[in-house]
Structure 1
C-alpha cells in the first residue's frame, strides 16, 4: 500500500482465531520490554507499553471481546519463544486458545525459514508450556496444535457462597494457569442449554464479582498468579471419554470466550482428576459458545494435580498494519461507557 504520509505509530499484526475466539499477534521482541523473568516483563509491558495493548484490544481497532498475544524475548534460555496474553482489561497469566494460535504461528514461521520444527517450548506468565504441532494429512488443512500446560490443580472442592438472587451456591476452584470458579449452571437454577446466553453470562459475572469481593485465591508459589480470573459454567455432564461437554467461560472484566477455554479445560480436568473421575489416556471433547471442539486429557499426574494436554486448530483471518495517528483522540483505544453520565466532565 502506498505510504499515506501519516504521522504516528504503526503496529504490524497477525489476526487468527481458535474455535472462533480471536487472537491478535504482535511481535514486540524489538520493543525493549525489560525484565529478568516473564512476570517482570508482564509488569513492564503494563507499566510502559499498555497504550499499545489498549490500541490493539479496544475499539475502534478491537472490541470488547478482543484477545491478543504479544511476543517478547524469552527470559528462560531453554524456551523457543515467550508470550504475554492480553485482553480488554489487562494481561492474562495463561490462555489455551492463544497458545494454540501461537503454536501454529511459530510452526509456520519456522517452515517459511526452511525449518521443520514441530515442537516448541513457550514461556508463558504461568510458566513454560510445551507445544506439539501435527500437520494434517490434508496439506491444505490447519495442523492440530497440542500443548501440555503447567501443573493444574483443584484449589477448593465443594466450596459455597450466598449469591444475590441465587441463594447458597456451591462451586469448585480450579487452576489451569489461572484460577476459575467452576460449576454446572444447574446449581444456579439455570438450564445450560435452554437459558438465554445473556442470563448465563450475568450469573457468572455475579459469582465472580462476589468471590473477588469476599475471597482471596493464593497460588502456592507466585503472588502474581494469585487472583480469580473468571468463572466457568458447565453443561453438567460428567467427563467421560468421547462424551461432549460444554463450557461458558466469563473472564477478565466480562469477556466471554468463544472457545472452550484451554486453561479452563485444564482446570476442569484437574478437578475431575481430584474427584477420581478422569485418568491418563482418555480423550475428552469440550466445546464453547462457537461449538468448535478442543480435545483435552490428563497427560500425567503430579504431586499437586495433573499436567493437562489440550489440542485444537487455529486459523488465520488477517494480516494488517494498525495506524495510530498522533492527533487521533482514540489512537490508544476506548471502551463504551457504562452510562452517558460517565462522559460528563
Structure 2
C-alpha cells in the first residue's frame, strides 16, 4: 500500500483525509459506496485507523463521487470499528479543506460547500475572515428525538434513564448524575467504559429505526451530559463515546445536532438561541442553535446549526512492506482495572 493523507483536527478530534491510494469505489449511491468499501477494501480503514499508523481513537474519511446533483463533494467516514453515517467534526474540517484545495471556489464573507455524507446533504459555511481562521458552521439534516425517558438496565450500573436522539446518527443521552461521573478529563477512562456499556445495553433493548432509511437505523454511541449549570449558564459539557470504546475529543458534531434537537423538544432551547457545547479538552467548544423547525417522516424535527474551528496538523505518506505481519494494523487500548461504578 502507498497512501497519502492530509491531517487535520477539529477541537482536538483528529481527521485523516485520504488523498491518494484508493481503488475505484463502485456504487450508485453513497450508501452503496459505503457497502462496497466495507466489503472490498476495509484493509485501507484498518491500515490508516489502527496502530502503528493510527491509534484507537483515530478518525478518517474517504472522498467518493457524489450522487446528489447539488453536492460539491462527498465523503465516507471511518473509525476504529467501521463506518458511520455522519460526523460533524469531520464536516467542519472538510468544509475548510474543500475551499483551501479548490474543490469549491472561495467567496466573501463565507463560502457555501454542499457536502454529501451517508445521512444526506450538509450545507457547510466556511468563513473567509482571517481573524476567524478555521471557523466553519454546518446545517444538519432534520434532527429529532426518537424516544425520551427510556429505562434501561446496564450491567454493574443498574437501571438508568436515557433519551435517544438523531442528528445524522442516533445517540443515547444520559446524565453524569445518573452515572456518578463528572465531565472532567480525569473521568474520561471511566466514561469510555460506562458509555460503551450503556450503548450495548440499549442495542439489546431497542431496535433503532430511522423513519426514512433503514441504513441509518443504528445507535452510534452514548453521550454523557453534565447537567451542571444547564439552567443557569449557556454551557453544556458532554463526553461522546462511540464506535468501539472511542472517546471524542471534540464535543461531537452529529451528537451536538442530536442534543440540540433534544433540548428543543424539552423546551430548553428556543429557535435561534445559541448554546455552547464543551468536551473534556480545554477550549474544545462547538456553538449550536436551532435554525428552523422541520419534519422527518412522522417526527417533529429541527435543522440544527453547529459551528467550530478546524486546523491542519500535517501531511503523511503511509507505506507497507509485504513481509510485515502487522501490515494492516492492530488495535490496543487501556482497560479499566478499577473504579467500576456500582449503583
Cα separation, 2, equivalents of 1:72 and 1:154:
30
Shift of 1:290: 1.2
* Residues 115 and 302 (structure 1), Cα distance of their counterparts in 2 relative to 1, 3 Å cut: closer
Give the aligned partner of residue 84 of structure 2.
92
| RMSD, matched Cα | 2.2
The answer to whether the aligner puts 1:131 opposite 2:124 as a matched pair is yes
The answer to whether the aligner puts 1:260 opposite 2:242 as a matched pair is no
Give the aligned partner of residue 206 of structure 2.
215
Specify which of 116, 122, 126 is matched with residue 115 of structure 2.
Answer: 122
The answer to whether the aligner puts 1:82 opposite 2:74 as a matched pair is yes
Shift of 1:276: 1.7
CA contact (8 A) 1:240 1:278 kept: no
The answer to whether the aligner puts 1:318 opposite 2:314 as a matched pair is yes
Shift of 1:167: 2.3
Cα separation, 2, equivalents of 1:143 and 1:209:
36
Give the aligned partner of residue 342 of structure 1.
none
TM-score normalised by L of structure 2: 0.90
Cα separation, 2, equivalents of 1:95 and 1:194:
22
The answer to whether the aligner puts 1:142 opposite 2:133 as a matched pair is yes
Give the aligned partner of residue 282 of structure 1.
273
Unaligned runs of 5+ in 1: 1-8, 340-345
Unaligned runs of 5+ in 2: 336-343
Give the aligned partner of residue 49 of structure 2.
57
* Residues 16 and 193 (structure 1), Cα distance of their counterparts in 2 relative to 1, 3 Å cut: closer
Specify which of 324, 332, 343 is matched with residue 336 of structure 1.
Answer: 332
Q: Greater CA deviation, 247-256 or 328-337?
A: 328-337
Cα separation, 1, equivalents of 2:185 and 2:254:
26
Shift of 1:72: 0.7
Cα separation, 1, equivalents of 2:52 and 2:202:
32
Shift of 1:273: 1.0
* Residues 305 and 215 (structure 1), Cα distance of their counterparts in 2 relative to 1, 3 Å cut: same
Give the aligned partner of residue 96 of structure 2.
104
Cα separation, 2, equivalents of 1:63 and 1:337:
9
Cα separation, 2, equivalents of 1:194 and 1:335:
22
Q: Greater CA deviation, 234-243 or 217-226?
A: 234-243
CA contact (8 A) 2:185 2:281 kept: no
